[in-house]
Amino acid sequence: MSSIVCCALCVSLAIQLCSSVCLHDSVQRDTPVVSPPALFPRTTRISRATTRAPQLPLRVTPWYLPGESALLTPAQNTQLQSAVRDVTKVISDMLSVHRSEGPLLLNRDVNRFCRSVWGDPSLPNYKRCGSRDMSYYGERCLDVVIPESHLHGYEVWPMNGTEPTHVTPEGSGVPDTDFLLYVRVAQTEKCALQPSVIAYASYCQLDHSSRPIAGVIVFCPKRLREGVYQHRHIVQVSLHEMLHALGFSSILFEHWIDCSSYESGQECSSRSRVTNTDENGQLRIYTPNVMQKMGEHLGGDNIGAPLENQETPTSSHWESRFMQGSILTASLSPPHLTFLDPITLAAFQDMGWYGVNTSISSQFMWGKGAGVSFGLPLTCQETSGFFCRDKSHIGCHHLHLDKGNCSTDAFLDGCHIYKPLLHGGECWLKQDNQGQDEIYHPQSRCFFSNLTKGLKHENITGRCYLHRCLAPNTFQVKVQGSEWMDCPAGELIKVKGFEGGLLCPNGRLCLGFRQPSLPTPVSITASISSIFPTAGQGIQVQVKIMHGAKWTKEQKMLLMGEIIGVIAQHAGVQRCFLHAFSEPDKDFSFTLMAGGTNNCPPGSSPNVTFTNFLDELITYESLQFSTITIRLQSPVSHSSIMSEAGIIVGCFCGIFCVLLILTLTWCKHKTRILQVRDIYHSQVETKEKNYVVSV
């Protein structure tokens, strides 16, 4: 597979799994990189080898290009900047550097601004620029024009004179910065040729120690649209790309330095060799911290960490067979299954430029304790609880948060693993489609089981059951309709009232592993490529809002309009084809109808039914209304709605007529009563008068 293929990212219309590619290796090879020229000594940035300044958190300053934001709405710009802030916070928590005094100033490429240099050692201006290239108009970094204020100045000198003939003054620089990140949003040729690209990045400036100090990240705008944007996915791919730009890049391997003796007063030195090929032909990184962490992880002697062998000549990614779940594999898992692992942090330690906060590493489970031969193509068929062979049944992802399919890809070299299902396999996410004995809940995990209440034999598959931790690797389990039961790690247990058994994972649960951080409630959707009905059909739309509020009528109508727009955007149809047949009720349900209006282009109409999309969910982040979950239910036709409305109206009219008749009858009866009462009172009064007269 081409070297441009990398990081399969989870980004979807509603947190579904889609593939993406990472272009770092190919982009970096085409990016000119500028280092400080020896003939222009710098005083504002000093090599680590000559300073004793303390290490402080790395300051990454994003620089948003003027005018680029025109491609995004204000809401999209806000979302993107929020994601970049989250990434720079992770990096600041992870890395520290020996800061230099003053603002950051970038270098100019002497080969670009200077046409010739004085080469006679006897000249007073030896090695100084002697003539300026008149076609020079500044510096670029991955098609970004670097502002003049970010650049060092330069001078042009005569052969023997004491004053320069041309002076471009120093820029003001960027204060409080250790790495300058230019953020660009553009539908570039790379975005167009690779529709699944989310972002790509490269570095373009190095300091005296060869540490990257400036780079560019380019976001393709398609994934930043409202309704498509998923914050955790953008953060994930941005962090992946930033780690490349900060030093985990195959071109920079030869520039890593050894600063292990620095604190004792010795200078940093170049590493003799970072990569080498083992006896199996696998290219690995052999640096001290990486070897130590890899050995500790596998449970054996120190061993190098393998690089992806599908990318040539040298990859900037870990080999997928060995490092599933790492942030720097060529094929990334969904965000809740991808981590900043200790081996990646060890690599940044061995670069020599950074202090590394190793305490922020996540628990890394793939291959843990499996031995130094783990992950080799010849041994992966011996499943050891990580790889799989049975491709016909649903199993469990190795972290047991999700159900998975036993499958392979180009990066696994024929090995098979349980990859999380595209839809509906999240045991930790409450769902309505749970099986007879299954429970989907934040505390549920995937277990291999063939439990059944009948005599029919069931195949062992991945199923979702509740679990609760009692101690490390010690837990209980509960299936639908059962009591809590002890589940000894590694044993097959019986469940009262069920045939078959349930396998208790060993060394996977109750080990301090963090919960998925996706918000609740959030729902995963299947692909909604076509969702809308033909004219005259409709569905019931139910809405769940993460944070409740007291709604005014205006707010309800505003949100309903936003929801219809999101559905239309997901389906790829024009908003004008959809309209609400009813206002939202107290539970925020309403009927959505399809049918053109005067604003729709003449002769155009969608031609799809709702049948395949009932009970599916769309989840998106609304800037005004928090997390919104939309469920599509109960397809109805306009005629049936009208028929039902007619029945309701008819019933109402009938009831009204009955009430009217009763009212009229009552009024007539009341009139008669009043008449009788009047007669009675008149007779009494006459008798009273007669009685008085006779007395």
Maximum separation of any 2 CA atoms in the chain, in Å = 159
Residue pair 545/589 in contact (Cβ under 8 Å)? The answer is no
Our CA dihedral for 506, 509, 513, 515, rounded to 10 degrees, sits at 150
DSSP state of 576: G
Residue pair 91/58 in contact (Cβ under 8 Å)? The answer is yes
Which structure tokens are listed for 36? 């400080």
Q: How far apart are CA 188 and CA 198, in angstroms?
A: 12
Q: Which residues pair with 182 in a beta bridge?
A: 63, 216
Half-sphere exposure of 232 (CA within 13 A, CB side): 19
Helix crossing, 74-94 with 231-245: angle to 10°? 50
User: Is-cis flag, bond preceding 313, omega within 30?
Assistant: yes
DSSP state of 254: G
The H-or-E segment that residue 464 falls in is strand 461-471
Residue pair 501/474 in contact (Cβ under 8 Å)? The answer is no
Residue pair 51/98 in contact (Cβ under 8 Å)? The answer is yes
Which structure tokens are listed for 123? 């000249």
Side chain identity at 518, as an amino acid letter?
Answer: L
Residue from 343, 391, 349 nearest 366 by CA: 343
For the chain, the C-alpha Rg in angstroms (whole number) is 35
Chain centroid to Cα 246, Å, comes to: 20
Chain centroid to Cα 195, Å, comes to: 17
- By annotation, the residues acting in catalysis are 241
Q: How far apart are CA 35 and CA 355, in angstroms?
A: 22
Go through the chain and tell me how many residues it has.
695
**Burial code of 91-103, b = ≥16 C-beta within 10 A, e = fewer?**
bbebbbbbbbeeb
Q: How far apart are CA 88 and CA 111, in angstroms?
A: 33
Please count the other Cβ atoms lying within 10 Å of the Cβ belonging to residue 548.
8
* Burial bucket for residue 568 (CB in 10 Å: 0-12, 13-18, 19+): buried
Residue pair 4/23 in contact (Cβ under 8 Å)? The answer is yes
Which structure tokens are listed for 498? 């069920």
In degrees and rounded to multiples of 5, residue 630 shows phi and psi of -115, 130
Q: How far apart are CA 59 and CA 324, in angstroms?
A: 30
Chain centroid to Cα 311, Å, comes to: 24
Q: How far apart are CA 545 and CA 198, in angstroms?
A: 28
Residue from 617, 561, 614 nearest 590 by CA: 561
Residue pair 415/387 in contact (Cβ under 8 Å)? The answer is yes
